[in-house]
Amino acid sequence: MPSPVSTIRNLGPAMEAAFARVDINSAEELRDLGADAAYARLLENGQRPHFIGYYVIVMGLQGRPWNDCKGEEKKALRKRFDALKAAHMDVGLSELEKILDEIGVRR
């Protein structure tokens, strides 16, 4: 029987609901996809990007506390997050639309 997403460390009901909206319905599915592919799916389906949300997933899949990410590791994760955001969220937008999204006007 599949385990709920919320059985993964750091991930609660809100994250479980967000993943269910993009058809990731179990901890096993999330583990198989990995943090980057799963987060890309969230972005592609309208989830507003949030760096902490991303690294909470990464840390949870490693079985680590969400606030365990620091220093160079956090900088590297920020680069991965920015690349995911650029590849899966801002595609085809004008510079003005990107800025409006950043400040929360459009989405």
For residue 47, is it within any domain?
Answer: yes
CA 95, CA 77: separation in Å to the nearest integer?
Answer: 24
Residue 24 is given by DSSP the state -
pLDDT in tens, the chain (107 residues): 999 999 999 999 999 999 999 999 999 999 999 999 999 999 988 898 999 999 999 999 999 999 999 999 999 999 999 999 888 876 667 778 777 777 777 65
What range defines the domain where residue 34 resides?
5-102
CATH number where 19 lies: 1.10.150.20
For residue 48, is it within any domain?
Answer: yes
pLDDT for the residue numbered 27: 98
For residue 36, is it within any domain?
Answer: yes
Structural tokens at position 97 = 């639309």
Residue 12 Cα distances to 78, 90, 92, angstroms: 22, 27, 33
**Which among 54, 27, 58 is positioned nearest to 42, based on CA atoms?**
54
CA 31, CA 97: separation in Å to the nearest integer?
Answer: 33
For residue 107, is it within any domain?
Answer: no
- The number of domains in the chain is 1
For residue 19, is it within any domain?
Answer: yes
